[in-house]
Chain A
Amino acid sequence: MYHGTDYYHINSLLSEEERLVQDSVRQFVEEQYLPFVAEYHQKSIFPKEMSLKLGAMGLLGVTVPEEYGGPGLSYTVYGLAMQELERGDSGLRSFASVQGSLVMYPIYKYGSEEQKKYWLPLLAKGEKIGCFGLTEADHGSDPGGMLTRAEKTAEGWLLNGSKMWITNGTLADVAVVWAKTEKGIRGFLVEKERKGFEARVIKGKFSLRASDTAELSFQDCLIPHENQLPGAIGLRAPLSCLNEARYGIAWGAMGAAMACYDEALQYAQSRIQFDKPIAAFQITQLKLVEMLTEITKGQLLNYQLGRMKDAGEARFYHVSMAKRNNVHQALQIARSARSILAANGITDEYQVIRHLLNLESVYTYEGTHDIHTLIIGQEITGISAFR
């Protein structure tokens, strides 16, 4: 059985409850997800029944308070849970990230009491699924340029436009959609039954295949006035949601990296060439040592970021550093692990190629690697390179 990677005894910094969460989610992924992931990947599906299972575990909206159906736990617990989910697959973690950080978080933070009371318990249980529509085909890193419009009419808000690369898009019962109004960017809840709303699956993906990725379109889609998120004013609102999700990604990426390292180490110890295990070769040892060192550094970043976030001290540029570093390193680790497994590393008998392909997406979603570089650059120099 898999026991994670903990070279620097970081587990000793965790509370007993935090360790129990890590162990419980680890076992859940091991038994309920990993035996089937190759099939999900091949068929390119997200198994909808996982939504209820994740909900029963309390993994959807980890930080949402109990009065709205969430477990109301710390960001460190949330991070550990995301780490273990992504050790399964980035698609599994993405589902939970979107549901928790991009759907439940904005409803909790910016929604009306009625919206919170109705949606949050259903989303926490996984009985309803949500998605988040910000990115458009021509507006990715610069979402402020979005073309989707919401026009206020006597009957309600009239939405027109389309959104691209939307995780959970075709599975979703409700979409949190960001659109430009006369007064600037606002957020709206659009139920899947609304006339004029359509979600189409994006085909041909080589990455995040075990995840539902869609294009959303809105053609004179009329929604009631009360479907607007009253507290969400301007681009700051959707960006605050992304900041929550990125925090989870920083942890998740280390989960994927740990899975790759674990597999590469085991493989290197059992694969015999020239009458000795390939782990006996200095080049293989160097690869393993570099992987483990970067994992340990990434874990320490996550641990301290989690404690800062729980203390209310983590700013978006702190999150950028962990997301940027950890995903970049995870991608390098996946490539290095793949090279240790050589030909076996390109089949779905093993995990590494799936993680490697997934991480190529994670590298550029929720803020590309380059944009996070510029966010930190702006913070330390006081000069924005992109505005």
Chain B
Amino acid sequence: MNIAVCVKQVPDTETKVKLTEDKKAVDESEINFILNPYDEFAVEEALQLKEKYDGEVTVISLGPDRISSAIRSALAMGADKAIHLQVDENPQDPNVVANALAAELKNGGYDLILLGKQAIDDDHTQVPSILGEKLGLPSVTVVIKLNIDGDKVVAEREIDGAHEIVECTLPAIISTQRGLNEPRYASLKGIMRAKKIQIEQKPAQLSDDQLNIIGFEYPPQKNPGKIVGDSADAVPELLRLLHEEAKVI
């Protein structure tokens, strides 16, 4: 099975976001970047499918030079090849990202395209669906269970209050959600194997950005919480405060 996994490098989940002085962008100078956690599920799923059906796993990522460490992380988990679509800075418009990925994916002859359900930085959650349109392929999003038999795909999606079971045929696009699998750790051997793999570099084919970010604002400061007490005796006081001060009951 020929599998592509699209990954993104994102700030660590515990990053304290700082804005540039003009508030037009996020200050990246002190950010620790990681492989997008939802993409780890995609890489893991690709590796498990490769172990079952044989084949090749290619990691594709779009971004500036700094993303090489995220690509290496995916290779260290066990991917075979990697393509870095180079840009000076990340496009803000998910349509531009999907166009660039589609341009690369369409000639790859991939049976399956996996990617995380969203990137944890801009949270657009749009690329998997747009890719489906651009490539004319079925796109199943937020998948927590995946079964592939021949070219038949049965995917379980997480939807509000229920699970939805979807069938389609390969080639297809699957976006991965927590619960699908347990991503493996990069082993020492895997890390050193990854070191020997040449990452293919090519400029990304960028379409016109139709989204313009005007600025960023910090969320409003929240007042700290208050602990009224830790036994049943505190309930009357809690009720009084909720009624009189918070005015929620």
Q: Which residues of A contact B (CB under 8 A)?
A: 1, 3, 16-17, 19-21, 24, 27-28, 56-59, 62, 66, 71-73, 77, 81
Choice from B69, B73, B185 contacting A28 with Cβ under 8 Å: B185
A20 and B186 alpha carbons, distance in the complex (Å):
8
User: What residues of chain A lie closer than 8 Å to B69, measured between beta carbons?
Assistant: 16, 19-20
Q: Is the CB of A27 within 8 A of B185?
A: yes
A247 and B13 alpha carbons, distance in the complex (Å):
34
Asked whether A24 and B32 contact (CB < 8 A) given A1-B13, A16-B69, the answer is no
Contacts of B69-114 to chain A: CB distance below 8 A: 69, 72-73, 76
Considering only CB atoms, which chain A residue lies closest to B195 in the complex? Answer: A17
Q: Is the CB of A71 within 8 A of B189?
A: yes
Q: List 29 A-B contacts (CB under 8 A).
A: A1-B12, A1-B13, A1-B14, A16-B68, A16-B195, A17-B191, A20-B72, A20-B76, A20-B186, A20-B191, A20-B194, A24-B76, A24-B185, A24-B186, A24-B188, A27-B185, A28-B185, A56-B187, A57-B187, A58-B188, A58-B190, A59-B188, A62-B188, A66-B189, A71-B187, A73-B188, A73-B192, A77-B188, A81-B188
Contacts of B186-245 to chain A: CB distance below 8 A: 186-192, 194-195
Considering only CB atoms, which chain A residue lies closest to B190 in the complex? Answer: A58
Question: Ordered nearest first, which 8 A-B pairs have the shortest CB separation?
Answer: A58-B188, A24-B186, A71-B188, A71-B189, A58-B187, A58-B189, A20-B191, A17-B195
A130 and B84 alpha carbons, distance in the complex (Å):
44
A81 and B188 alpha carbons, distance in the complex (Å):
9
User: What residues of chain A lie closer than 8 Å to B188, measured between beta carbons?
Assistant: 21, 24, 57-59, 62, 71, 73, 77, 81
Considering only CB atoms, which chain B residue lies closest to A27 in the complex? Answer: B185
A13 and B69 alpha carbons, distance in the complex (Å):
16
User: What residues of chain B lie closer than 8 Å to A57, measured between beta carbons?
Assistant: 185, 187-188
Of the candidates A56, A57, A66, A77, the one having the most CB atoms from chain B within 10 angstroms of its own CB is A57
A27 and B194 alpha carbons, distance in the complex (Å):
19
Of the candidates A3, A16, A81, the one having the most CB atoms from chain B within 10 angstroms of its own CB is A16
Beyond A16-B72, A19-B69, A73-B192, 18 additional contacts (C-beta under 8 Å) are: A1-B12, A17-B72, A17-B191, A17-B192, A17-B195, A20-B73, A20-B186, A20-B191, A21-B188, A24-B76, A24-B191, A28-B185, A58-B188, A58-B190, A71-B187, A71-B189, A72-B192, A77-B188
Distance of B183 from chain A, by nearest CB (Å): 10
Considering only CB atoms, which chain A residue lies closest to B14 in the complex? Answer: A1
A57 and B191 alpha carbons, distance in the complex (Å):
10
Distance of B117 from chain A, by nearest CB (Å): 21
A73 and B192 alpha carbons, distance in the complex (Å):
8
Contacts of B1-22 to chain A: CB distance below 8 A: 12-14
A72 and B196 alpha carbons, distance in the complex (Å):
14
Distance of B15 from chain A, by nearest CB (Å): 11
Considering only CB atoms, which chain B residue lies closest to A19 in the complex? Answer: B69
Considering only CB atoms, which chain A residue lies closest to B191 in the complex? Answer: A20
A66 and B195 alpha carbons, distance in the complex (Å):
15
Distance of A164 from chain B, by nearest CB (Å): 33
User: What residues of chain B lie closer than 8 Å to A27, measured between beta carbons?
Assistant: 185
A17 and B187 alpha carbons, distance in the complex (Å):
11
User: What residues of chain A lie closer than 8 Å to B190, measured between beta carbons?
Assistant: 58
Asked whether A3 and B195 contact (CB < 8 A) given A20-B69, A71-B188, the answer is no
A27 and B72 alpha carbons, distance in the complex (Å):
16
Q: Is the CB of A3 within 8 A of B32?
A: yes
